[in-house]
Structure 1
Amino acid sequence: MLALVSKGDAGLEAAMVADTAHARQLIESAGGNVTIQTLAAELNTPVLSVETAVPLLPTHIAKPWGQEIWYTGMEVRGVSHVGDELHSVPLPWLLSLMPEAFCNGKPEQLTLLKILDPLPDEVYGDLYFEMHERKQEVYVVTHVNKQAWPDGRGGIRFGFNQRVRAKYASDDEFKAAYLETVKRYESVRRRIDECLDGIRLQQGVGLNDPVEPARIDAWLAQVPDLLVVQEAELRAQMDSFSNLMPLQVGDVVRVPCMTPHSLLHGVRTVEFQTPVYERKILSFAQKVLTQQWWDTEEALQGANLDVEAAQLSAAVEVVPGLTQQEIVDFDDFRVWRLRARASVELSLAGAQSYQLLMAVSGKVRVAQQDLACEQAALLPANGASGCCLFMESGAVALLAAPIKG
């Protein structure tokens, strides 16, 4: 990677490009009066304002239950970019250019910002019932599909059903009963998946490729009716062990470690999480495409059986017309929800660590850059005075910052 850095009236700006012979020749042959904007245009790369705010571009990752939209993801499955609609560069380039400013010198610990966008279809749009040992997450509900949930109230499977738990003499008996129920379901699930895999091969569809619900429904018509009936009955028995928590737009869900959970179909959320890929799958009502096994027995050994309903702190007015509500305070990052009751400005300059900003609704602008709904920006540590947030009355935004260790 080659980087051009310029300090001018607009502050510190940077442009990055792949290290090629053409790029080197173009840069070396440029005259001393050529601006960074001119060079960047010739190199087809964006100019980034690295003292104030850098736009994060969404990367779409297909899932069997819908899609994830990454803003700070960096792994084999996909890499997020920064820039604009015309030109962009990989996020890791920016982090390598200015690591202290944009990731506290630890790119692998950059808080992961993404959107969970499940399909509206029942069952097909339900996420894995899974648990994390190190990864902490917080969800903010931004949309509930009216096709899936006409009354605007969706849900999440969160922990275990306390009424069912109370029917057993001990937690060990409860776990054993749940495990047996899951195993019965998994046996039927795998038999169905074997039938569907045969159809995949006949039609030239990859065994681990996500497939749209309508196509799966057509395939299921070729599966023995008895298996389809058994699957539905056993799934209902299995799901009865989990706790169903209703969700509507604006709700917040904190997911601490060791808590099994599964966001339901048609419930779209913004998610901030610890940037580690680890999970234990307790169950899934489709074929798991990323691994050949379920982790139910191992997960139950450490799973938290209690359902802890997190209480949000009260919103406080940080400047006249703008309230700030802390929605999570994990040991590795914090997130606040900002609500404008009037058109208002807030300085985000001079922060000790980088910050992540996402517009949720209304008109939001940071460092003279407009952020539409679900657009996000990465703000550097010790940002310049131009790092100012503007929100019109009624606008909502989310702001996250790491806990600097």
Structure 2
Amino acid sequence: MNTIEHKKPSLLGNLTFQILIAMTLGAILGIVIHNNWPAEAAKEFSTYIKILATVFIRLVQMIISPLVFTTLVVGIAKLGDISAVGRIGGKALGWFFTASFISLLIGMFWVNILEPGVGLNLSDVDLSSAAEVTEKTQHFSAQNFIEHIIPKSIVEAMAGNEILQIVIFSIFFGLAAASIGNHAKPVINALDKTSHIILKMVNYVMKFAPIGVFGAIAGVFAIRDLNDLLLTYIKFFGSFLVGISSLWVVLLLAGYLFLGKRMGTLLKRIVSPLIIAFGTTSSEAVFPKLTEELERFGVKDKIVSFMLPLGYSFNLDGSMMYMTFASIFIAQAYGVNLDMGTQMTMLLVLMLTSKGIAGVPRASLVVVAATCGMFDIPIEGIALILPIDHFCDMFRSATNVLGNALATSVVGKWEKEDELEPVSLD
């Protein structure tokens, strides 16, 4: 896909600047509305202004399914055979599970060291706010998880943007196309051209990113008093920031270890996707843009198209760190003692149950609630973290993007034929 016409780097910088301005203006507007309007009016304003974010995210969502399908099928077909798919897939899963384990371990470490849930006053917690999340956990089981990852209809999977289901179908389709050889070339060429068109659409959709970020930020600040939230949850949020910062340090060090000086170039490439994910609390919203930027960084298109869809299902580092952190925090708040053996069991359970649910709304909270139920921790404890979860989600989403960009770049470098030569932007 190196023939795609790309924007100049200066335009990328302008987009990043526009998004930062949009975040600032959105926060200012939201705070002004919150401080000067009646609560009901502010809530109504938040509902309407969030439409801007919804429009942007839906614009992105409309191209995710065809982008995942076309790029993954073309990527597998270009890899040529099952052995190549198995080789890269093995490297990918090895990285994903290692990163997931380290992320879970970091969350478990800091929540035990800082103990943000110990001595928490539970008298003012609105337990009814957790009803939506706890209701979803009733359908959360190993059987449902296994059934969920296998699509019964590719049309249904695409309609629901079920990335993991689309990945499963695309892998079978790509392998079948590769096995046919020259007879499948017209189909693969058509899908290749289609993916080029979809990536061109990304440029148009990204023009709406500042507007979407503005709406998302303004909507949140209009109905939430940030000062009260941070004062009430200062220990939880502060401890979470320590944990997520530690994870960033580990990821960046791993990047420099495997990519060397090119890690700095990678960070410059993905700064715009990072900020969009942070502002919209959606790593899914930057999937198309991240695909384009990683190819511009120099990772082969066949590696990007294979790795990113898998990463969005199996490699959510920020969410993984939060899951152990939040689960043990709730246990601390309710005085439930978890010995180290039980916590390690919880970690292993989360390694498995957290995979493949990227498309589930509030996926991290659903997994946390389900995990609490498995270990006799009150599920309604989810209500403790709901008021500040949006702000935690901003950092989780950005971390997920960093983790997937890093995994794709490193696996790309590991492949002998991929020397990570930057694509010409002229």
Q: Which category of TM-score, normalised to the shorter sequence, fits these structures?
A: under 0.3
Higher strand share: 1
| Structure whose alpha-carbon radius of gyration is higher | 1
Give me the TM-score of the superposition, normalised by structure 1: 0.23
TM-score normalised to the size of structure 2?
Answer: 0.23
Kindly indicate which of the two structures has a greater share of residues assigned to helix.
2
Higher relative contact order by CA 8 Å / sep ≥ 6: 1 or 2?
2
